[in-house]
Every structure is written in C-alpha cells, then in structure tokens.
Amino acid sequence: MAKPDNHGSPVDPTRVRTPVDPTRVRSVPAHFAWVDHRLRDRLGTLTLEEIALLFFLHLAADKTGCSFWADSTIAKRLGVREGDIVAARFELVRKGFVAYRYPLYQILPIAEDAS
C-alpha cells in the first residue's frame, strides 16, 4: 500500500516525477542559498513581515548565516516601511530565529522541538 504524501494523497513510489515544464528545470547556482526545511513547521508562529525579513536574510547571508544589509535597504527591497523591518527583527531575535548586533544580522540554526 502506498504511503500518503504531505497532502494526504496516496503516492506511488514507482512513479517517476516529470517536471511540468521540462524546458525550464532549475539548476543550483554557485550562489545558492538554503533554508532549513524545519522552518516550514514554524511559519505559523511568524507574521508576514517576519517571514519576508527572514527569507530575505536567508538569500543575503553568507555561509555562516551573516549579512550586513541595512534596515532601510531591506525595507525598500521588500516594499515595506523601515519600522516594519525593525519590529520584525525584534520579534525574530526574541523568537530565536536571528541574532543581531548593529549592523550584523545572523541567521540562527532552527532549534529542535522540546517535545
């Protein structure tokens, strides 16, 4: 019997996944940024501004998770007010997703659940 996928539908493990548009298959560039897949289970604890800032920081970070982008520049890139970035940063620090010491942001590892 096939196991259900993340949406509850049965998955046939013998089925080969073919891209919808095989002429546009992405490749991993040298400057590839990654996001820990466990973050998807915590998105519900974040506001949209926090998600936008965290995603931006993932794209901007070096291999140690650090970046030096100014709040005003991030706000312009995301199309939000600088105050929204400051508030989102405060909450991301409080929730343990980011460390911050002006002017340096650091993405922190996703903590394991205590349960």
Instruction: List pLDDT tens digits, range 30-76.
Output: 777 778 888 999 999 999 999 999 999 999 998 899 999 999 999 99
pTM above 0.85, yes or no: no
Asked whether residue 25 is domain-assigned, the answer is: no
Asked whether residue 76 is domain-assigned, the answer is: yes
Asked whether residue 22 is domain-assigned, the answer is: no
Distance CA 111, CA 38 (A): 9
Q: What angle do CA 8, 10, 15 make, to 5 degrees?
A: 135
Range of the domain at 69: 41-107
Q: What is the CATH number of the domain that holds 83?
A: 1.10.10.10
The tally of domains found in the chain comes to 1
Asked whether residue 81 is domain-assigned, the answer is: yes
Asked if residue 90 lies in contact with residue 55, where contact means CB atoms within 8 angstroms, the answer is no
